[in-house]
Structure 1
């Protein structure tokens, strides 16, 4: 809690018993020069010690007067000058009237409420459509009763007025507040401000408790079938088309090359051919999944469709985290965010489900970002060992663009293109070397993953 209170200036009073006179040629001469120098030095020392306090008090005075109050004060001063210069009775009347208005507003700022306020929330994360229960505990630490007041609490872009009831001496009160999670994002709650103002709004006094909380509103997600985050479901991995000298899946034998390990020599083939032969293996791979989300707002027909795409991508990424798959989850990089890990891509943290969902809650639409074709090409050229790539985009890109995006990967990489379109009929079909899904609602995704052969 931050509560600003004013202190009375410390006054140093007393008498100086040291001599301030000097005798020269028998005459007594007052040391006015030295006394003036000492006063100036004392004034400079006082200013160095108290300049921050003076500036702080002056800033409080300036902040006390509202823009309307400054207008009234300016009109009063101008009318006073006109009345003095030209003797206009009307100007004197306006100056006195506006001055009285300012003086009448000052008593509304007197007094203070010795409040101790604490803001607590039942949870810091919520799904879209839910609600966060906020509780404001107010304690009157003073020996006098506190009259009802109205506090202001910023909740995201809105400003909520919180009524504080009458609280007796050393009493407490609890004010419950509900925060609906209407849309995905991050809601900043606080700081709470207690304002006192006059009825005309000329002067205002604020006391702020700098207690802030961040509420992450997660997108809706669907629980996908087990194994749908990757193609490989066995413990050792499935063989790929890449050949290696040491692995589990035997492929063929070849002639010995200088530098090959002798433990890989195939002695039966060596005896038959009379030439030293070694084993050759197919490289086995575990499910290394990449989820690529198209964050360009222009690729979606509406904001609802964009949020549907976020929900689909978050569901795929969340399933990969739950299954412990090696994963890479990214979207378009936009200026002002963290630097991209790959050209044009921003990797989302995915250590835990909560961390991943927090990242999706913070994600915003990108403007003037690279198209999805260039992003998939950059991902394919990054030499990441991938077994499946899921690309999530909107309904605006035509099928030819999506085919070009999928063609950037090699044949041993399974490509899944998810095209979201609000209220569209769910569909799954094979286009060239990739599986294309059409999702009209988040509830369609689990069945489409099964129909697409990914479970």
Structure 2
């Protein structure tokens, strides 16, 4: 073995390196333990600890026994408060929401069940349930082995949002709030607060028959998707008489068809805050877009939704409304409704119906520019969301119909005027 190899072998077995690794591991474990210890100390306890140290040092230095006694009193208080941390918090926690999807303004109710599955009683404790940016606090009394406690709670749903409920935290602490031990239980649950939508009667959005469309459940006397045969009725088109069936049955039979509808329905929803005067206009725009998208899905359209910088999933009504619940305003640099129209034209050139939704800060020139960028041949509709004082109106800008509404309930009647 060479001298260099001997040096490497002796270095690998150097006890100093082994002791160094052992010390580093011990420091890490000690840091983890100290972290858990410091986590239970509240700011008020740190203040009392500092006051105790100052009183003790001043009492010893100045010879004032009053200060020393005050320091001892503070120490006793801290020690007594630490005793409240003793005890188990091993609850079996179950968080159940009555519904995970509600509409703005609907009541959302949940239940929190705490069960003691152990063999010993659990002392009183507090349970903290975060709900969005707030939290609910429940005081749980002593729970004997095998017992359970249920707490009901209601979640405010005044605004469209995705509210995270949980995770549940079991808190053991003292009455003065000096020390607090927290154990997290269960997993958070998302509550989707959907925007308000309005239903349209019949084929409110209109449709285009197309060889590549999707068959719907509505029957028609004239289309391209054959459905069945039925007996002739006065007024039926003789071109659709099925002569072979007529000869076999002895009754004149005509073909019946399913309506097929072009599936590419596109909604361009502007999320640029510069296009809206206030948050109410933005919420109205989201509700209008949601109403239009749901109607199009019911009419068997293929729905695609674009906002600044991304597309929203809209395969089903639930998926679409969930995406709207989580939608927030874009950054101003993301572009206005004009840039949004350009994105729609570039990514969806075969769209048959395009609806642009924006606020009242978008003027007629910007709307004209946005509509001119949309795919050629597509039917274009612009919906402008205004304030409650805005009177509903219908105007024509270029090749597009522009509907202005001040309330969601005005949307169906405004669309009927467009399609009249």
TM-score class, shorter: 0.7 to 0.9
User: What is the deviation of 1:451?
Assistant: 1.2
- Secondary structure at the aligned position of 1:452 is classed as helix
How many residues align structurally? 359
Give TM-score scaled by structure 2 length: 0.77
Is the counterpart of residue 139 in structure 1 residue 115 in structure 2?
yes
Q: Cα distance 1:397–1:42, how it changes in 2: closer, same or farther (>3 A)?
A: closer
User: What is the deviation of 1:383?
Assistant: 5.9
Q: 1:111-169 CA distances to partner (integer Å, 9 max, x unpaired)?
A: 22442111111221111111222111211123344454331110111111123344332
Q: How many angstroms apart in 2 are the aligned matches of 1:410 and 1:365? A: 26
From 371, 393, 396, the equivalent of 2:336 is 371
Larger radius of gyration: 1
Residues 104-143 of structure 1 mapped to structure 2, 5 A cutoff: 104-143=80-119
Q: How many angstroms apart in 2 are the aligned matches of 1:383 and 1:146? A: 61
Residues 43-442 of structure 1 mapped to structure 2, 5 A cutoff: 48=25, 54-229=30-205, 231-233=207-209, 286-333=262-309, 346-368=310-332, 369-382=334-347, 384-409=349-374, 412-423=377-388, 424-442=390-408
| CA root-mean-square deviation | 2.9
Give TM-score scaled by structure 1 length: 0.71
User: What is the deviation of 1:425?
Assistant: 2.5
Q: How many angstroms apart in 1 are the aligned matches of 2:261 and 2:188? A: 47
Contact 2:95/2:186, CA 8 A, preserved across alignment: no
User: What is the deviation of 1:58?
Assistant: 2.2
Q: For structure 1, which runs of at least 5 residues remain unmatched after alignment?
A: 1-36, 238-247, 249-283, 334-345
Q: Cα distance 1:198–1:173, how it changes in 2: closer, same or farther (>3 A)?
A: closer
Q: Cα distance 1:379–1:169, how it changes in 2: closer, same or farther (>3 A)?
A: closer
Match of 2:6 in 1: none
Q: Cα distance 1:287–1:113, how it changes in 2: closer, same or farther (>3 A)?
A: closer
Write 1 or 2 for the structure with the bigger share of helix.
2
Match of 1:252 in 2: none
Q: How many angstroms apart in 1 are the aligned matches of 2:353 and 2:192? A: 29
Contact 1:230/1:387, CA 8 A, preserved across alignment: no
Q: 1:343-370 CA distances to partner (integer Å, 9 max, x unpaired)?
A: xxx1001111111111000100123131
Q: 1:319-357 CA distances to partner (integer Å, 9 max, x unpaired)?
A: 222333233211123xxxxxxxxxxxx100111111111
Q: Mean alpha-carbon deviation: is it higher for 443-452 or for 316-325?
A: 316-325
Q: How many angstroms apart in 2 are the aligned matches of 1:203 and 1:324? A: 60
Q: How many angstroms apart in 2 are the aligned matches of 1:297 and 1:449? A: 25
Q: How many angstroms apart in 2 are the aligned matches of 1:293 and 1:75? A: 59
Contact 2:350/2:375, CA 8 A, preserved across alignment: no
Q: 1:375-396 CA distances to partner (integer Å, 9 max, x unpaired)?
A: 2133334461122211111122
Q: How many angstroms apart in 2 are the aligned matches of 1:121 and 1:229? A: 36
